Chain A
Amino acid sequence: MTDERRPPEAEEGGAILEVRALRKRFGGVAAVDDCSFRVPRGSVTGLIGPNGSGKTTVFNLITGMLRPDGGEILLEGRRIDGLPPWERTWRGLGRTFQIARLFREMTVLENVVVPLRDFRLRRMAESAVAGEERRRAGELLERVGLARFCDELAGRLSYGQQKLLELAQALVLRPRLVLLDEPASGVNPRMIERMAELIREFHREGTDFLVVEHNMPLVMDLCDHVLVLAGGRVIARGSPLAVRSDPAVLEAYLGG
């Protein structure tokens, strides 16, 4: 953890993402219940909490895969709840999934160049693998170490490689904020190391991250700000060190 990098009074500075009073019920269960938080601009923010605390649901609400029952979501100060997922992506959001989701029957390169940057009919007719996206995809695949597998089917990659490919996919449109859902789950320690390095590198280049992760040493190492979710709401926030000794957090993790 590098203290110099943490903006002083992160909460006071601009928020890249702001969630206000977000609510989502599944039948009788309030998965996300009056949840409010800010992701400070220029941060790597951790979103932690016990199993079932609503972390992935929050991700799904932010990216538009689920519709909230109430509340507001603002990306760089503009409302995005109401927009379909692809428009949120065009506004500067990216995400990865807890279990890597790829287009398995498409090549590694095709997996990265697939999205549009915005919608114009003319863009739909452009050549699939060409132009700016081709260059950007090549550069990203080079950096995550998959360049030599460009023409392989994504389904043939090992699981760790699939996670790296998903990171490249999330970054292709140069998002302002990327949501990572357990980037270290199911991969070996060396790959976790590698993933952390990559996240730091891309962060230095101006992409902020909101990370759901159960691997606490990684969270402590990577994040300069941590949000703790329990029962669908944020119960603590602050620096990793402060959060770790917060009694409410210990209660949530051990008391249940």
Chain B
Amino acid sequence: MGRASEAGSRAAGGGTGVRLRHAVVAAAAVLAALFPLAVRNDFFLNMLILTCLLVVLSSGWNVVSGYAGYVSLGHSAFLGVGAYTVALLALRWQLSPFLLAPLGALAAAVLAAVVGLVMMRARGHAFVIMTIAFLFIMQLVTLNASFTNGSHGLTLPLPTWSRQWQNVPFYYAMALLAALSVGLSAWVRRTKFGLGLLAIREDEEKAAAMGVPTGIYKVSAFAASTFLVGAAGGVYAYYLTFIDPLGLFNIIVSVQTVLAVMLGGRGTVWGPVLGAFVVEPLSELANTYFGASQVHLVLFGALMMLVVLFLPRGVLPTLAERLERRRRLRAAAAEAGAPVRLAEVGEGGARQDGREGAMT
């Protein structure tokens, strides 16, 4: 919930909390901007690029699955769509994939809107299964279509900048997309649109009955959640210089995305960011220490289990709740140990309603 950050700021004392948060974000931005100039280390730079990619994926996923509650396990399909769109156009037009990334975004969002119109008529498990099916259909199509060069994949043009810059431009591009993703997610959360998405997650029928145009909201959410993922796909393709259907339309990427958000906190603005900064480095370290084995998959599985068992709401909401509870206790203590249960502070007439309601 976006409430997590709000509760956090309340706990820190309203205005100062917001200012503190802004200061932290600004400091992080400066650090992120200076990092590649200060630290010339390919291992870390690669890790950061992939982390930023996961931030784009998880922040995007969070809009449709965290806010609106429509869990997609096919989100990496839109990474593939962006990658292939940009790669094909770059080869045809001989333009830099960086310039074409917006078209990758557009392709992903338009495709999401179209399939969303159909898929989002289903809810819950049915929707989840359809998103998985969608991912594998996209993989099959790219494997078999002639214009995608099938399983041979596509080789993109090589970067044109001086070799001394190495991967630094990729880092800045991906970091920019990550920042935009967080900005989009935060903006959605603050708008009428975002509030409507939360309402859809809580009770879709009720939301519709109250005057939330659920159809338009859901499809818009799906498109918004894939737009920057498509752009990131373009940048990622350029970074890889070689893309193939199995690598790009990959369910493991979807799983990593879901894991990152579950870990950090579903429905919060910063949870997906935190999750990405844990999951991606962890996966990178596993690759380094266990070689190219599948050990990282076991690691993901174990981590997912731990999160579901011990942090079902994710790190940030759990922390926010702790702070909130402490604040309440302190407030109660200040009122000389007055009871804090809501129903008891309520109207006289409301005093026993909780119990009565429980019985009916």
Contacts and interface: CB of A to CB of B under 8 A. Distances in A.
A103 B214 contact: no
A162 interface: yes
A159 B356 contact: yes
A115 B358 CA distance: 28
Contacts of A157: 342-343, 346
Interface stretch (A20-28, A124-132, A219-227): A124-132
Give the interface size class of chain B: 35 or more
Nearest to B349: A190
Nearest to A93: B209
B42 interface: no
Interface size classification for chain A? 35 or more
Contacts of B220: 124
Nearest to B353: A160
Interface in B180-205: 190-196, 198-199, 201-203, 205
Contact of A126 (B191, B348, B358): B191
A177 to B, nearest CB: 13
Contacts, number: 151
A9 B220 CA distance: 49
B215 to A, nearest CB: 7
Given A114-B199, A114-B212, A169-B210, A188 B349 contact: yes
A104 B193 contact: no
Interface of B is mostly: helix
A84 interface: yes
B349 A106 contact: no
A213 interface: no
A54 B145 CA distance: 54
A159 B206 contact: no
Interface in A157-202: 157-162, 169-170, 172-173, 185-188, 190-191, 193-194
Given A114-B195, A125-B192, A89 B342 contact: no
Contact of A105 (B202, B210, B347): B202
B211 interface: yes
A123 interface: yes
Contacts of B215: 84
Interface in A58-80: 63-65
B353 A159 contact: yes
B9 to A, nearest CB: 12
Contact of B212 (A86, A104, A149, A170): A86
Contacts of B140: none
A96 B110 CA distance: 37
A37 interface: no
A105 B1 contact: yes
B3 A107 contact: yes
Given A128-B194, A158-B343, A159-B358, A86 B214 contact: yes
Contacts of B213: 84, 86-87, 116, 119
A220 B332 CA distance: 44
26 contacts: A65-B209, A84-B208, A85-B208, A86-B210, A86-B211, A86-B214, A97-B206, A105-B1, A105-B202, A114-B212, A115-B212, A116-B192, A125-B192, A126-B191, A127-B190, A128-B190, A128-B191, A128-B194, A149-B342, A159-B358, A161-B342, A185-B360, A186-B360, A188-B353, A190-B349, A193-B349
Interface of B: 1, 3, 190-196, 198-199, 201-203, 205-217, 220, 342-343, 346-354, 356-358, 360
Q: Please give me the 6 A-B residue pairs with the lowest Cβ-Cβ distance, nearest first.
A: A159-B357, A160-B353, A115-B211, A190-B349, A186-B360, A103-B202
